[in-house]
Structure 1
Amino acid sequence: MSTDTTVRPDSGYHRVIGAAASSAVGDGMRFAALPLLSTAVLHDAFQVSAVTAATTVPWLLFGLPAGAYADRFERRLLMVLADLLRAAVLILTVVLLAAGWLTFWPLLTAAFLLGVGEVLFDCASFALLPSVVPKERLESANGRLFAVQTVGRDLLGQVVGGVLFTVGRAVPLLIDAVSFLLSAALLRGVRSPEAEPERQPTADRPRLLADIREGVVLVLRDPLLRALTVSAGVINAVYLGQIAVFVILVRDVLELPDAAYGALLAAGAVGGVVGSTVASRLTTAIGRVPALVGNLALMGIAGLAVAATDRVAVVTVAYCVTGFALMVWNVVAVSLRQTIIPDRMLGRATGVYRLFAWGTMPLGALVFGRVSASAGPRAAFALGGVVTLLTCLPIAYTLLRDGRMTDSSVTDRRKTPEDAA
């Protein structure tokens, strides 16, 4: 195995990062503008919430088949098609808005199709990255990818999107469409990895359902992959549940103005950027197991800290720590999965992972909302802290028992697809 840890200029890595940065800024603007646009044109709370939910439904419906298609077709091309789909949807939405025809059903359909594009793009992109980056550089590469996405989407894009919406309702949507077109142009210049032709569909390929089943079995039968998936589900349920009641905590408990809510969210994003930047060096210094378990514990402690105080400074620091720990966990866990999963299975494994990990998010929002309604938002944060800390025990047990967690014993299985059977 090569020990080269540099990224070749012609590998396509920098184009992938550039495409991610471009689309992240556009996504941030859309995340800010779409709810504002829905509120402005629909004037109905249920319809507005339905449009917001429509962007996440495709993960539940198409997460598994999208992952299978990412293993059947050229991943770079699939990402380009997803970008072009989303750009076309946004341009059509602007046309309907200008003509006065943007009612509930067209807006709901647009949100759904944007979600479909996101599913296709994400399943392909997480599977493509290991083919353009040496294994030894995966954590650093993923850290940079998460950093540009967080800065572009959560810090820059959402702020700019809200401002541009006041200039014109169509402006952030048009810029988002341009960002997807730029992303597609960058990705077209990425060289197809040598392994890509092996994934082209042939007459003797298994049926789509058999491909999907193979991906599900791979994740569920592997103790390490299963533990990472379950842990991600718990983390996402807690995180979204706390986000759902955070605004109540800020307004009713801390008695801060609405502007402070955005500032505290930005503190979490800043922590995420720092975490994504140092994740690789942190893992090198202390190892994968301490990095994963330690940052999982940090998330739990931060939740308990928010529950135990009414000091704004403590809440700000705790939220920043949460963003930091969550991003370190993501970088290390994603890099580990990309290392141990065979190349031909990466798309399907990503689809399975996202389905289980993201499928818990609505449940977390409902549970934490109910706890907050009955006992207050502090109780919801306390519950999240306890659940997260308890999750540390089984995940630590699984990680310590798995020999692949040490640098010297991790086998690069991306080039040995026969091992996945």
Structure 2
Amino acid sequence: MRPDMTQQDDDLVSERDFRRLWAGTTVSQLGSAVSMVALPVVAITVLDASAFQVALLSVIQAVTIVVVAFPAGRYIEFRAKRPVMIWSDIARCILLFSIPIAAFSGWLTFAHLCVAALVNAAGQIASSGAAQAHLKALVPAERLMSANSRLESTRWLSVLVGPSLAGPLIGALSAVGALIVDAVSFVVSAWSIRSLRTPEPQPPAREPSPSRRAELFAGWGFVRGHPVLRRMFASWLVFAGASAMATPLSSLFYLRDLGFTPWQYGLLMGLPSLGGFLGARLAPRMGRRFGLVRGLWWVSLWRGPWYALIPLASPGTAGLLLCGLGFAGVLFFSGLANSTMTTYRQLGTPDHLLARVSTLWIFATNVTQPLFIAFGGLVASTLGTRAGLFLVAAFMCGSGLFLPRRSEDHA
């Protein structure tokens, strides 16, 4: 057989494997979007949980990610990635299935939901860290941008479709029954990973390290010393923090200041995600035209100004359209930016550091966002919600200034 035919066969298998992985990821993301809505409903309707207890479920997930991130990155780094992804899916599936079983048996407790939230968060960070590292091995470098684009577009689609599916599913199956949908989605995800035919490369060998601590924080050390990734990391933290800060402020602004109805609010939370979907799909074309670093710089500068349209809105249909346009614009350029940044990070990070760099991003995001949310609440309580939203837009605009304009700009 000719060498070029062998290469074509390998490329075909790789493409088929990616499609399987993509399909499993899509189903899992949709299931998780349903679960995100259903789990608090179970706590409230089945266990009569207080507002503090419902909030505690979110706190447990965030704290788990912060505590587990660095050890998980170190553990995953030197092991085969597919088993980590599969067992993460299986663990989350079992915990989710246990909730309906306990509820129907009359044994469900709030502590049970807390354990489920903890395991779900730990499984999420393990699966995400392993998947980021594995994708680089599964997909050729020249197709990595396209692969990230498809995965990113699916994420935005799940944000749009998942909560919309949750309502009818909860109505038809109850909130407890809807959790079974998420549990089944993890089975599909695990099966899709198990069905991959491309041999997984051997995990990187553990290199000599002066201490366990140095090995644990090697991802941070690499990013800090990398002239481009360091600035991407700072830019991402500011933008992610501003986005988290925007969530409670925009809810107050839409419902209280502008007087939008619940269905209008739901529309604003979901429909603009189409902008993120479209941006993610166009990311490969943008990357080919401008390059990864220059392209990320451009789209990051365009991302923030759109958000300034939201605090300019007034009550009524025109205000609703203006808010939708502003949010969709932010998400469109976010879809472009996220796919580009992820691809550069994968290509620019050595294989033996990929999992630790990926989990570093997740850790830092979960630490930074609560600080921005608290700061936004303080600004809104003293200067008003509009002022807080203008500040969000300023942070979003400023996040692009951290980035180099081209890869040789190391200053």
TM-score (normalised: structure 2): 0.91
Q: 1-side partners of 2:297 and 2:203: how far apart?
A: 38
Q: Does 1:263 align with 2:267?
A: yes
> Cα distance, 1:55 vs. partner?
2.1
Alpha-carbon spacing, 1:5–1:235, altered in 2? closer, same or farther (3 Å): farther
Distance in 1 between residues matched to 2:302 and 2:401, nearest whole Å: 14
Residue by residue over 1:216-256, the C-alpha shift from the partner in whole angstroms, topping out at 9 and shown as x without a partner, is 21111112111111111111110011012111111122211
Amino acid at match of 2:125: V
Is residue 2:84 matched to residue 1:75? no
Measured after TM superposition, the shift of residue 213 of structure 1 is 2.5
2:163 partner amino acid: Q
- In 2, Cα distance between equivalents of 1:21 and 1:391: 29
Q: For residue 388 of structure 1, report the CA deviation from its aligned partner.
A: 2.4
Alignment partner of 1:157 out of 154, 157, 162:
162
Q: What is residue 32 of structure 1 aligned with on the other side?
A: 37
Q: Tell me if 1:328 matches 2:310.
A: no
Question: What's the counterpart of residue 382 of structure 2?
Answer: 374
Q: Secondary structure at the match of 1:101?
A: coil
Where does residue 352 of structure 1 map in the other structure? 360
- List runs of 5+ in structure 2 lacking aligned partners: none
Which of 20, 25, 34 is matched with 1:20 structurally? 25
Quote how far apart the aligned CAs of 1:356 are.
1.5
Distance, in Å, in 2 between the alignment partners of 1:69 and 1:351 is 11
Which amino acid is 1:21 matched to? T
Q: What secondary structure, in the 3-state scheme, does the structure 1 residue paired with 2:12 have?
A: coil
2:310 to 285, 295, 306: 306
How far is 1:279 from its partner?
0.9
Distance change (3 Å), C-alpha of 1:209 and 1:51 = same
**One-letter code aligned to 2:153:** A
Deviation for aligned residue 1:7 = 8.3
TM-score, normalising length: structure 1: 0.89
1:68 and 1:208 in contact (8 A); partners too: no
Residue correspondences, number = 398
* Unpaired runs of at least 5, structure 1: 404-421
1:211 matched to 2:211? The reply is no
Deviations 1:316-357 (A, max 9, x none): 101001111111111000000000111121001111122123
The separation in 1 between residues aligned to 2:203 and 2:326, in whole angstroms, is 47
Where does residue 188 of structure 2 map in the other structure? Answer: 182
More deviation, 343-352/206-215:
206-215
Partner in structure 2 of residue 417 of structure 1: none
The percentage of aligned residue pairs carrying the same residue is: 25
Determine the structure 1 residue equivalent to 2:11.
Answer: 8
Which of 148, 173, 178 does residue 172 from structure 1 map onto?
178
Shift in CA distance, 192/57, structure 1 to aligned 2, threshold 3 Å? farther
Q: Partner letter of residue 165 of structure 2?
A: V
Cα distance in 1 between the residues matched to 2:130 and 2:229: 19
CA distance in structure 1 between the partners assigned to 2:404 and 2:397 by the alignment: 11
Following TM superposition, by how much is the alpha carbon of 1:370 offset from its aligned partner in structure 2, in angstroms? 2.0
For 1:227-306, list aligned pairs within 5 A: 227-306=231-310
User: In 1, Cα distance between the equivalents of 2:348 and 2:296?
Assistant: 16
Single out whichever of 89-98 and 75-84 deviates more from structure 2: 89-98
Q: Distance in 2 between matches of 1:396 and 1:5?
A: 37
Give the Cα separation in 2 of the matches to 1:212 and 1:5.
39
> Which of the residues 25, 50, 54 maps onto 1:48?
54
- Contact 1:76–1:192 at 8 Å: present in 2 too? no
1-structure distance, mates of 2:348, 2:8: 18
Residue-by-residue CA offset, 1:19-38 (whole Å, 9 max, x unaligned): 21111111011011112112
Residue pair 1:224, 1:402 contacting (<8 A) in 2 also: yes
2:129 corresponds in structure 1 to: 123
- Which residue is 1:90 aligned to? 96
- Matched residues in 1 for 2:27 and 2:369: separation? 26
State the 1:198 CA deviation: 4.0
Mapped contact 1:236–1:358 kept (Cα < 8 A): no
Alpha-carbon distance in 2 for matches of 1:332, 1:7: 26
User: CA deviation digits over 1:140-175, x for unaligned, max 9?
Assistant: 110101112221x21222211222112212221111
Work out whether 1:111 is the aligned partner of 2:117: yes
Task: Mark the CA change 1:154 to 1:134 in structure 2 (over 3 Å): closer, same or farther.
Answer: same
Q: Which moved more, 1:287-296 or 1:109-118?
A: 287-296
| 1:147–1:397 Cα change, 3 Å | closer
The answer as to whether partners of 1:230 and 1:357 remain within 8 angstroms in 2 is: no
Instruction: Say whether the 8 Å CA contact 1:233–1:358 is kept in structure 2.
Output: no
Deviates more, 1:327-336 or 1:290-299: 290-299
Match of 1:139 among 119, 132, 145: 145
Aligned to 2:399: 391
Letter in 2 for 1:8: D
